[in-house]
Amino acid sequence: MKIAGFDIGGANTDLAIVNFDEDGYIIDIKTDFQYLPMWKCKEELSQVLTDLIGSEIGGIDAIGVCMTAELVDAYQTKSEGVLDIARRVGETFNLPIGYVGLEGIIDYNHLQRNPFQAAAANWIATSRLAAKINPDCIMIDTGSTTTDIIPLKNGRECAQGRSDLQRLQTGELVYTGTLRTNVATIVDKVPLNNTGVRVASELFAISADAHLLLENISEEDYNCETPDGAGKSPVDCMRRISRVICGDLDILSTSDIMEISGFIVQKQVEQVTEALMEVATRNGIFNVVTTGLGMDVIAASASELAGIPRISMDQLLSREECVVAPAVGTAVLMEEYLRSPLI
C-alpha cells in the first residue's frame, strides 16, 4: 500500500509518500516540500498538492492530511481554515482521504462536525514516530516556525494541552523555529563591545539569518522568503542581522555580527530549554527524541542544557525525512487507519 501524507503548514506544504508492505512495515519513503505562504496564496494549494505528488498519483492508494495553516490570517477563524483546507484537498484528489485529529485519523464527515479536532494536530502524527524510538520520552520537533515539546508515556502522547493556545500555556509549544522567527521576538538586547544594545522592533531579520551565518543550515535549507526580499548569501544575512540594531556593514564588523548571531540562537535554545524542563518535570520523563529541521541545533542544545539525554529521530528516518516528519507520521497513521478492522 502506498500512502501520500501531506503536512499543510502556514508557510510550507510537505509531502511524504510512504510505501508499506502487507504487514504495515515501511518499504521506502519519498519526500518533497514547497514553500506556500497560505496567508496570501491559499488559492494555489490545490496546484501545489498536485505538483508535489506529480506522476506518483497513479500509484497512490490513499491520502493523509495534517495541517497548521488554519491559523493564518487569511481565515477569520480556525474552523473556517480547517474546512477550507479540507475542501480544497477533497476537490484535488479522487482517493480515500483522512485527516489527523487529536485522537487519530478522522474522515471528512467527522471533520465537518468538529473541525477543531484537526486544527494544528500535526504533532499527533509526529509523536507516533517518536514512540517507535522510545515509548517514554519527550519529543522535541523544531521546524521552521515552531517547536513542539510533546510527552509520551507507554507509546502514546499525553500532552496536557490539546490546542495551540493550551500548549502555549503548558510549555508544549514554543513559537520559535529555525527559519521564520522574527529576531526581535527572540531578543530585546544583543551584545556589542561588552555592552547590551536594544533591538529595533521591526522585521529586519529572521532566525534563518543567524543560523545560516553559524552554518547550522545551508542556503538550500533557507527556503522561506527573506525579510528584505534580498538574497540568502552570508553577506545578505549579515546585512539583515546588522539592521536589528539599526546598523549596517559599514558600522559593524563580521565578528560583531557573528557574536550577535550566536547570542540570538542561544536565546532560542534557552527558551526551548525552559519549556522542556516544565514539560519533563510535570510528567516525570527525562528522555528526549529530537526531530525537525532544528533537531541537531536548537533541540539538541536544549536537551544538553537541560541535562537530559536525547536520541535523534534520524535513527528511524533519514535527515530529509525528519524535516518532514509530520507528513511521514500522517502517512503512517493513515495506513494504520485503513488496516483497522473497524474500517
In the chain, residues under CATH classification 3.30.420.190 are 135-308
What's residue 340's pLDDT?
83
For residue range 245-295, what is the model confidence (pLDDT) as tens digits? 999 999 999 999 999 999 999 999 999 999 999 999 999 999 999 999 999
In the chain, residues under CATH classification 3.30.420.40 are 2-120+320-339
- 135-308 adopts what CATH topology? Nucleotidyltransferase; domain 5 (3.30.420)
pTM: 0.96
The arithmetic mean of pLDDT across residues 96-103, rounded, is 97
For residue range 40-91, what is the model confidence (pLDDT) as tens digits? 999 999 999 999 999 999 999 999 999 999 999 999 999 999 999 999 999 9
What's residue 342's pLDDT?
60
The chain-wide mean pLDDT, for the chain, equals: 97
For residue range 119-166, what is the model confidence (pLDDT) as tens digits? 999 999 999 999 999 999 999 999 999 999 999 999 999 999 999 999
DSSP string, 276-339: HHHHHHHHT---EEEESTTIIIIIHHHHHHHT--EEEGGGTS-HHHHHTHHHHHHHHHHHHHHH
The percent of residues above 70 in pLDDT, for the chain, comes to 99
What is the second-level CATH architecture of the domain 2-120+320-339? 2-Layer Sandwich (3.30)
Identify the three-state secondary structure at position 120. Answer: coil
